[in-house]
Chain A
Amino acid sequence: MTIENTVPDAAGRFGRFGGRFAPEALMAALDQLETEYEKAKQDPQFQAEFQDLLTNYAGRPSLLTEAPRFAEHAGGARILLKREDLNHTGSHKINNVLGQALMTRRMGKTRVIAETGAGQHGVATATAAALLGLECTVYMGEVDTARQALNVARMRMLGATVVPVKNGSRTLKDAVNEAFRDWVATVDDTHYVIGTVMGPHPFPMMVRDFVRVVGVEARAQCLEQLGRLPDAVLACVGGGSNAIGIFHEFIPDEGVRLYGFEAAGEGLETGRHAATMTAGAVGVIHGMRTYVLQDEEGQTIESHSISAGLDYPGVGPEHSWLKDTGRATYDSITDAEAMEAFALLCRTEGIIPAIESSHALAGAVKVGKELGPEATLLVSLSGRGDKDMHTAAAYFGLMPEDGK
């Protein structure tokens, strides 16, 4: 089946997903954002400025690197890494925040707020805010400020205020709640830079448009370097922005399989995971209809992942739509599988990946074995793992005081 890129509709719906489940207080701001974004999309000057920042500030296009020694462990399939880890600030998040920071300025607002899990989106937002002279506040769950302490320091160094969120599960979901609470009170001068393809319309569409450059580049690089399209495109999925970014341009390419990997945490059977599309049910969270980890009475179930960036009980509505249409396949990867792939890429290719991205790498090992040595896999290496050294050192026992 060929799926055309015709979503979302005017109401922001991807099939039965998406929409705008937002408090009335935010509706005027969402309408303004939608209207201004439609104008910006048609505005050559806006697009030129965005392109210029991507090229001369973020460092695009990012490389496409073949990983032959890693591929030996993945059934001998050919593996190509889309190197979003090499972007300024170290992940694909910079694409989205540069677009939204320009939108903030365009709407005459002077302050941005953001939620962050791993800290990559918070760092990217703090960076874009510094670049464009915007005031910046980042909400981050207290559990995440602890496991990503270095990123907290980076954000503060860049001039942002970092607010540790101490309620609920004290992770990404609660950081989103707190950012919304801030936004309701400050919407006149503040833009909420949502960090992934989630939230009320137009966020899932707008963020996708800002990150789809990843797939646009990768598709052209494949054609140029291989003379053909890959057999499969793989990415990790938390909220889902790096995955939508790399998938989107390939959606109409019927022969290209799309695989998203959610965090299975300690294992689906333990209940301690973040596999929203594998184990969740359709509901409403954070302004959108999508798959949600929830109980039978609609209460959100706390997610778990070793990776702060995937530790989220919802998912962008376009992924739910891609799942339901069958265009993309979603599977899950445990903490242990992700950490194994993390170590494997370090030792075979000399690249330290983010733990988030390591879920896609672990997926590549599985899919490579399934599809065999003739297959070519394009993997989104969405971020670098410097921020994860604390977690990795603890996991692998690498600190000198561990006595190993």
Chain B
Amino acid sequence: MSVATAFEKAKAENRAALVGYLPAGFPSVTGAVEAARAMVDGGCDVIEIGLPYTDPLMDGPTIQDAVHRSLTGGTRLADVFATVEAVAATGAATLVMTYWNPVDRYGVERFARELRDAGGSGLITPDLTPEEGQEWLDVADAYDLDKVFLVALSSTEERIEKIVDVCRGFVYAASLMGVTGARSAIDTGAPGLVARTKAHTSLPVGLGLGVSTGAQAAEVAGFADGVIVGSAFIRRLLDAPTLADGLRDAHALAEELAEGVRARA
């Protein structure tokens, strides 16, 4: 399923789409695939596979920890593409979320080709802005891939317009000023950011950063087209004594969140 179709389906069901994030190679290469399957089975419509990177400067301690474990476990790009292939095979739309340097170094076109061949839908690029992204924009179009850029609370109208103009798939609204990780409350500016973004585009807008519970998912589903959850899934896997426990807990969290996105506050 494509990202666009996943969001359309959710809209037709009068709910928000549920987007789950997990880095490849965490807790192991096969463990990540199993976890992503559990997340899809529990109700995630879209999966973001994180490409583990040595310098994750937008990520908080939970994702840093997971990424560190993945890298020290020896995860390589081939594992990332294999993970995408296995997750896409579940039928869930599968994106890769990556800092820019690994793509730049591998070669943008080569990366895009291998991502497409693995069944990936596109990229989410948290440290790339449209101004520096021309090569990616051209290649993504040539390979029919989604381009998800971020908008932030601090983005001006002019910048939001520029960003949504080059997005395909959905627009990622960062709900708070800060790094990834669970928060007790959704930033009060989040609905405003989604509204400002929707004023400039007909693309769906997903809201991420800080969402960890069904109640928060319901709250976000009240104003956004998609609810993005990452650290909370990782937390379940980190805290579980065994992989089997982690998979069960991640599945349960996906179910809770899936219920949340259907209970629009």
Is the Cβ of A296 less than 8 Å from the Cβ of B55?
no
Chain B, range 128-142, C-beta contacts under 8 Å to A: 128-129, 131-132
Q: Is B195 an interface residue (CB 8 A)?
A: no
Is the Cβ of B54 less than 8 Å from the Cβ of A168?
yes
Q: Is A67 an interface residue (CB 8 A)?
A: no
CA distance A285 to B105 in the complex (A): 11
Complex interface: chain B residues within 8 A of A227 (CB): none
Is the Cβ of A185 less than 8 Å from the Cβ of B131?
no
Q: Is B144 an interface residue (CB 8 A)?
A: no
Q: Which residue in chain B gives the minimum CB-CB distance to A176?
A: B57
Complex interface: chain B residues within 8 A of A286 (CB): 55, 57
Q: Is B31 an interface residue (CB 8 A)?
A: no
Is the Cβ of A285 less than 8 Å from the Cβ of B101?
yes
Expressed in whole angstroms, the minimum distance between the Cβ of A260 and any Cβ of chain B is: 23
CA distance A25 to B149 in the complex (A): 12
Q: Which residue in chain A gives the minimum CB-CB distance to B100?
A: A284
Is the Cβ of A177 less than 8 Å from the Cβ of B154?
no
Is the Cβ of B179 less than 8 Å from the Cβ of A297?
no
Is the Cβ of B60 less than 8 Å from the Cβ of A167?
no
Q: Is A391 an interface residue (CB 8 A)?
A: no
Knowing A181-B60, A187-B154, A297-B106 touch, does A283 contact B101 (C-beta < 8 A)? yes
Complex interface: chain B residues within 8 A of A292 (CB): 101
Q: Is A92 an interface residue (CB 8 A)?
A: no
CA distance A167 to B65 in the complex (A): 9
CA distance A150 to B177 in the complex (A): 34
Is the Cβ of B104 less than 8 Å from the Cβ of A25?
no
Is the Cβ of B177 less than 8 Å from the Cβ of A184?
yes
Is the Cβ of A28 less than 8 Å from the Cβ of B155?
yes
CA distance A300 to B105 in the complex (A): 11
Q: Mark B32-68, 1 if CB is under 8 A from A, else 0.
A: 0000000000000000000001111111100010001
Contacting chain B: which of A16-24, A99-107, A206-214, A270-278? A16-24
Q: Is B152 an interface residue (CB 8 A)?
A: yes
Q: Is B103 an interface residue (CB 8 A)?
A: yes
Is the Cβ of A281 less than 8 Å from the Cβ of B60?
no
Chain A, range 146-188, C-beta contacts under 8 Å to B: 167-168, 173, 176-177, 180-181, 184-188
Q: Is B76 an interface residue (CB 8 A)?
A: yes
Interface size classification for chain B: 35 or more
Contact check: which of A177, A184, A186 meets B56 at CB < 8 Å?
A177
Contact check: which of A168, A185, A287, A299 meets B102 at CB < 8 Å?
A299
Expressed in whole angstroms, the minimum distance between the Cβ of A244 and any Cβ of chain B is: 22
Expressed in whole angstroms, the minimum distance between the Cβ of B182 and any Cβ of chain A is: 14
Is the Cβ of B103 less than 8 Å from the Cβ of A298?
yes
Is the Cβ of A181 less than 8 Å from the Cβ of B57?
yes
CA distance A83 to B132 in the complex (A): 39
Q: Is B127 an interface residue (CB 8 A)?
A: yes
Q: Is B17 an interface residue (CB 8 A)?
A: no
Complex interface: chain A residues within 8 A of B174 (CB): 24-25
Contact check: which of B102, B154, B156 meets A297 at CB < 8 Å?
B102
Expressed in whole angstroms, the minimum distance between the Cβ of A220 and any Cβ of chain B is: 38
Q: Is A27 an interface residue (CB 8 A)?
A: yes
Q: Is B222 an interface residue (CB 8 A)?
A: no
Contact check: which of A20, A29, A176, A285 meets B154 at CB < 8 Å?
A29
Q: Is A294 an interface residue (CB 8 A)?
A: yes
Is the Cβ of B132 less than 8 Å from the Cβ of A20?
yes
Q: Is B71 an interface residue (CB 8 A)?
A: yes
Q: Is B126 an interface residue (CB 8 A)?
A: yes
Is the Cβ of B150 less than 8 Å from the Cβ of A23?
yes
CA distance A292 to B54 in the complex (A): 13
Is the Cβ of A296 less than 8 Å from the Cβ of B54?
no
Contact check: which of A23, A29, A188, A297 meets B127 at CB < 8 Å?
A23
| Residue of A24, A173, A177, A300 most packed against chain B (CB within 10 A) | A24
Is the Cβ of A24 less than 8 Å from the Cβ of B163?
yes
Q: Which residue in chain B gives the minimum CB-CB distance to A177?
A: B57
Chain A, range 108-126, C-beta contacts under 8 Å to B: none
Complex interface: chain B residues within 8 A of A283 (CB): 101, 104-105
CA distance A59 to B14 in the complex (A): 68
Complex interface: chain A residues within 8 A of B118 (CB): none
Is the Cβ of A297 less than 8 Å from the Cβ of B132?
no
Q: Is A11 an interface residue (CB 8 A)?
A: yes
Expressed in whole angstroms, the minimum distance between the Cβ of A189 and any Cβ of chain B is: 11
CA distance A187 to B77 in the complex (A): 33
Expressed in whole angstroms, the minimum distance between the Cβ of A69 and any Cβ of chain B is: 44
Q: Which residue in chain A gives the minimum CB-CB distance to B174?
A: A25
CA distance A65 to B30 in the complex (A): 63
| Residue of A27, A28, A29 most packed against chain B (CB within 10 A) | A27
Complex interface: chain A residues within 8 A of B102 (CB): 297-299
Complex interface: chain B residues within 8 A of A281 (CB): 105
Q: Is B151 an interface residue (CB 8 A)?
A: yes
Expressed in whole angstroms, the minimum distance between the Cβ of A194 and any Cβ of chain B is: 13
Complex interface: chain A residues within 8 A of B132 (CB): 19-21
Expressed in whole angstroms, the minimum distance between the Cβ of A103 and any Cβ of chain B is: 18
Interface, chain B (partner A; CB < 8 A): 53-60, 64, 68, 71, 76-77, 100-106, 126-129, 131-132, 149-156, 159, 163, 174, 176-179
Chosen A-B contacts, 12 in total, with CB atoms closer than 8 Å, are A21-B128, A23-B58, A24-B151, A27-B155, A28-B152, A180-B57, A181-B57, A188-B177, A283-B105, A285-B55, A286-B57, A294-B101
Q: Which 9 A-B pairs have the closest CB atoms?
A: A298-B105, A185-B178, A298-B102, A25-B152, A28-B154, A300-B54, A298-B101, A177-B57, A180-B57
Task: List 17 additional contacts besides A186-B177, A298-B105; criterion CB under 8 Å.
Answer: A21-B129, A23-B58, A25-B177, A28-B154, A168-B55, A173-B55, A188-B177, A284-B100, A284-B104, A285-B101, A294-B101, A297-B77, A297-B105, A297-B106, A298-B102, A299-B54, A300-B101
